[in-house]
Amino acid sequence: MNSKLQIVNSLSRKKEIFEPSVPGHVGMYVCGPTVYSDVHLGNVRTFISFDVVYRYLVHLGFKVRYVRNITDVGHLVGDIDEGEDKIAKKARLENLEPMEIVQKYANGFHDVMNIFNAIPPSIEPTATGHLIEQIEMVQRIIDNGYGYEVGGNVYFDVLKFDKDHPYGKLSGRILEDLQSGSRDLDGQSDKRNSLDFALWKKAEKGHLMRWNSPWGLGFPGWHLECSVMSTKYLGTSFDIHGGGMDLKFPHHDCEIAQSVAADGADPVRYWMHTNMLTVNGQKMSKSANNSFLPHELISGDHPLLTQGYSPMTIRFFMLQSHYASELDFSNEALQASEKGFQRLMNALEAVESLDVSKAKGTDAEENKQLNDLIDAVYDELNDDFNTAKAIARLFDLSKKINSYKEGVIDIAGVSAESLERLQKEFHAVIVHVLGLKKESGGDTKVAAGLMELILEMRKDARGRKDYDTSDKIRDVLQELNIVIKDGKEGTSWSMN
312 binds, among ligand AMP, Zn ion, none (CB under 5 to 8 A by kind): none
CB of 129 to ligand AMP, least distance (A): 18
CA distance 454 to 470: 10
Which of residues 76, 234, 284, 397 is near ligand AMP by CB under 6 A?
284
Which of residues 7, 276, 344, 414 is near ligand AMP by CB under 6 A?
276
CB of 459 to ligand AMP, least distance (A): 25
Closest CA to 350 of 422, 407, 401: 401
Q: Return the number of other C-beta atoms located less than 10 Å from residue 67's C-beta.
A: 22
49 binds, among Zn ion, ligand AMP, none (CB under 5 to 8 A by kind): none
CA distance 299 to 464: 24
> Residue 130 in contact with residue 229, Cβ under 8 Å?
yes
CB of 36 to ligand AMP, least distance (A): 8
CB of 34 to ligand AMP, least distance (A): 4
Would you say 254 or 473 has its CB closer to Zn ion?
254
Would you say 31 or 374 has its CB closer to ligand AMP?
31
Residue 76 in 3-state DSSP?
Answer: strand
CB of 182 to Zn ion, least distance (A): 22
CA distance 304 to 291: 10
| Number of residues located near ligand AMP, criterion CB under 6 A | 17
Closest CA to 334 of 301, 298, 303: 298
CA distance 315 to 338: 10
CB of 191 to Zn ion, least distance (A): 22
42 binds, among Zn ion, ligand AMP, none (CB under 5 to 8 A by kind): ligand AMP
Which of residues 11, 20, 38, 42 is near ligand AMP by CB under 6 A?
42
Instruction: Kindly state the DSSP code that residue 326 receives in the 8-state scheme.
Output: -
CB of 75 to ligand AMP, least distance (A): 7
Would you say 244 or 413 has its CB closer to ligand AMP?
244
Would you say 31 or 374 has its CB closer to Zn ion?
31
**Contact between 285 and ligand AMP per CB under 6 A:** yes
CB of 80 to ligand AMP, least distance (A): 14
CA distance 371 to 349: 20
Which of residues 9, 34, 69, 231 is near ligand AMP by CB under 6 A?
34
CB of 284 to ligand AMP, least distance (A): 4
Number of H helices, E strands in the chain: 16, 15
**Contact between 226 and Zn ion per CB under 5 A:** yes
Which of residues 9, 43, 139, 227 is near ligand AMP by CB under 6 A?
43
Would you say 46 or 469 has its CB closer to ligand AMP?
46
CA distance 10 to 242: 10
246 binds, among Zn ion, ligand AMP, none (CB under 5 to 8 A by kind): ligand AMP
Per-residue contact flags (x/-) with ligand AMP for residues 120 to 149, judged by CB under 6 A: ------------------------------
Which of residues 7, 28, 31, 377 is near Zn ion by CB under 5 A?
31
Which of residues 247, 298, 370, 454 is near ligand AMP by CB under 6 A?
247
Q: Reduced to 3 DSSP states, what percent helix, strand and coil does the chain have, rounded to the nearest 5?
A: 50, 15, 35
CA distance 145 to 74: 23
CA distance 51 to 385: 11
Would you say 114 or 285 has its CB closer to ligand AMP?
285
> Residue 213 in contact with residue 135, Cβ under 8 Å?
yes
Q: Give the strand pairing for 153-156 and 197-202.
A: antiparallel
User: Is there a cis peptide before residue 98, judged by omega within 30 degrees of 0?
Assistant: no
Would you say 32 or 108 has its CB closer to Zn ion?
32
Which of residues 16, 149, 190, 246 is near ligand AMP by CB under 6 A?
246
Determine the Cα angle at 249 with ends 247 and 251, to 5°. 60
CA distance 110 to 167: 35
Evaluated on CA atoms 427, 430, 434, 440, the torsion sign reads negative
CA distance 74 to 20: 32
284 binds, among Zn ion, ligand AMP, none (CB under 5 to 8 A by kind): ligand AMP
CA distance 34 to 486: 33
For 137, phi and psi rounded to 5 degrees? -70, -40
Interface with ligand AMP (CB under 6 A): 31, 33-34, 42-43, 45-46, 243-244, 246-247, 274, 276-277, 283-285
Interface with Zn ion (CB under 5 A): 31, 226
